[in-house]
Structure 1
Amino acid sequence: MAKPVKFLFDTEFAAEAKQQAEPRVTLAEHQALVALARQESHAAGLITGEAQAMASLERQRALALTAIGDRLSVAAEALKGLEGRLEQEAIDIAVAVASKLASTLIAREPLAEIRTLVADCFANLRSVPHLVVRVHDDLLDDARTELGRLATERGFDGRLVILAEPTIAPGDCRIEWSHGGMVLDRAQTTSEITEAVQRYLGVAAPAALEDTP
């Protein structure tokens, strides 16, 4: 006859109570939790991806701005050189045009500038006893007529002497009085203007011209 097994009353009931106390999750709840976990993981992945994309865009923008800055610097240097060349060309053109215009005006009215200078002398040298004006040979007769009439109009009381000078260019003159004189020499004036332009360009434009490729 088999030996009866002792019934462990306390032990069996304790195990059953522990099993009943453990939480139980249904299949639907499990699936819902899994879906939620997947959504959270996907959202976290999106946030990480967006952050990486923004960082990449920021790097690309920084590189683009750097490249633009470099190009602007190069363009500024090129523009500086271009400005130097344009300034020199503009000055050269202005001098050439002025010289051509002066030659044309002198050819048309060779006594115009001479008359202006002599009129200034009449206004400022009323007390001199005589005034000598030397002009080119071809202008002698016209100069005597026009300057004589001008002396009368301006009330010059001194003696006006008009002399021919073959070495003086048409349109130029030399004016002399007892204690002074003046010279109108267009060739010398043109040379002085050219030297002044060259000095200006030599000081203001060399840096820009040296940078020009």
Structure 2
Amino acid sequence: MMNSSTDKTKTEYETLEKVLLDNDFFEIAIREEQERMRRAREAAIEANKPKLTDEDLAQAESTGYAQGLADGKQQATEALRGDLNQHLGRLIDRLTYLDEIKREYLRITYTASFKLLTKIVEHLFADISTNYTEEVLAHALKTCLEQAVTDLPLVVRLNPATLEYARKIAGYEEKMKRFDGRIKFIADPTITAGDCLLEWDAAGVDVRLSHAMADVKNLLTRKLAGIQREELPLPPDPVTAAPEESAAQEAAEAEADPATVEAAPEEPAGQTAPEEPADDAPLPDAFEVVPDENDKQG
């Protein structure tokens, strides 16, 4: 009984061992078959690959170089375009304020010029009033007398004795006729004998230097206060001024050569050509003058 059981166990063991051994060989066979199929597939792929010659390699290298060069150029162009747009944008922004900057500098220049002119006039009048008072008054008196004799009525105040003596001079009436009543003699006892006092209507003109200085200073002050940035004339643009200069030059050449001057068309009957402005016509002021408060009250 014992032998039979032992034999059965031994037989089962051998059978199991054989199965396991067969499985090992089967796995090995599968792996070998897979490896063989892999090598066959690689060999087929290698056999189907195109054969690359030196010319093919050179052509591929040239194509790659050209493509890389084109890509590099495109990238560089885009980068340059971006930089240019950025800098041109800044430049355009600055050019937008160029006229304002010009007007600001013109305003500063005009202001400094008027202040300097005011100081110069003050010094001139101070020098005149100090060193040339008698000469200025003598010239003013001479001018007023000349105008009084020819145009303005003149009143002469004399001492009664002096007036009586003058009327007794031979030819007094004849000499006074040419003044046509514009000179009137009045006897004034307050006048010293031999002296005279002349009176005339100066039409509101004050010859005193202090008043003249005040008028000039007020004028310059109003001009200085009237300088507005938007009213200042800017220098002409060279780009737009070039065609005008060319046209003016052509007109001057045509005027110099009479043969090139075309005959002017005749005006129709009953019509007249518009009058040209006079050469001495006043030019428009360069800046706006703000009225002074004292002028408004006056």
Q: Choose which of 156, 169, 176 in structure 1 pairs with 2:199.
A: 176
Matches within 5 A, 1:8-87: 30-74=53-97, 77-87=100-110
Q: Secondary structure in 2 aligned to 1:56?
A: helix
Q: Choose which of 197, 205, 215 in structure 2 pairs with 1:192.
A: 215
Query: Mean alpha-carbon deviation: is it higher for 175-184 or for 37-46?
Result: 175-184
Q: Secondary structure in 2 aligned to 1:176?
A: strand
Q: What letter matches 2:124 in structure 1?
A: L
1:107 paired residue number: 130
Unaligned runs of 5+ in 2: 1-49, 157-178, 186-197, 232-298
For the 8 Å contact 1:106–1:112, the answer to whether it is kept is no
How far residue 176 of structure 1 moved from its aligned partner, in angstroms, is 3.4
Change over 3 Å in CA distance of 1:51–1:34 after alignment to 2? same
> How far apart in 2 are the matches of 1:39 and 1:185?
98
Q: Choose which of 223, 226, 230 in structure 2 pairs with 1:203.
A: 226
- The superposition leaves residues 110-161 of structure 1 with CA deviations (integer Å, 9 ceiling, x where unpaired) of 12222222232333332567467xxxxxxxxxxxxxxxxxxxxxxxx9799x
Change over 3 Å in CA distance of 1:188–1:113 after alignment to 2? same
Task: Say yes or no: does 1:121 pair with 2:144.
Answer: yes
For the 8 Å contact 1:131–1:176, the answer to whether it is kept is yes
Cα RMSD of the aligned pairs, angstroms, is 3.7
For this pair of structures, how many residues does the alignment match?
147
Q: Which runs of at least 4 in structure 1 moved beyond 6 Å after TM superposition?
A: 157-160
How far residue 87 of structure 1 moved from its aligned partner, in angstroms, is 1.9
> How far apart in 1 are the matches of 2:64 and 2:206?
99
Change over 3 Å in CA distance of 1:188–1:207 after alignment to 2? farther
Matches within 5 A, 1:158-169: none
For the 8 Å contact 1:99–1:190, the answer to whether it is kept is yes
For the 8 Å contact 1:131–1:177, the answer to whether it is kept is yes
Task: Say yes or no: does 1:92 pair with 2:134.
Answer: no
Q: TM-score, normalised by structure 1?
A: 0.54
How far residue 184 of structure 1 moved from its aligned partner, in angstroms, is 1.0
For the 8 Å contact 2:129–2:209, the answer to whether it is kept is no
1:17 paired residue number: none
Structure with greater Cα Rg: 2
Aligned residues with identical type, % of pairs: 16
How far residue 30 of structure 1 moved from its aligned partner, in angstroms, is 2.2
How far residue 73 of structure 1 moved from its aligned partner, in angstroms, is 4.3
1:10 paired residue number: none
For the 8 Å contact 2:125–2:213, the answer to whether it is kept is no
Q: What letter matches 1:48 in structure 2?
A: D
Q: What letter matches 2:142 in structure 1?
A: A
Change over 3 Å in CA distance of 1:41–1:179 after alignment to 2? closer
User: Which structure ranks higher in relative contact order (CA pairs < 8 Å, sequence separation ≥ 6)?
Assistant: 1
> How far apart in 1 are the matches of 2:209 and 2:219?
15
> How far apart in 2 are the matches of 1:54 and 1:43?
16
Q: TM-score, normalised by structure 2?
A: 0.40
Q: What letter matches 1:47 in structure 2?
A: A
How far residue 46 of structure 1 moved from its aligned partner, in angstroms, is 0.3
- The superposition leaves residues 168-212 of structure 1 with CA deviations (integer Å, 9 ceiling, x where unpaired) of xxxxxxx8326867421322222222322232223223669xxxx
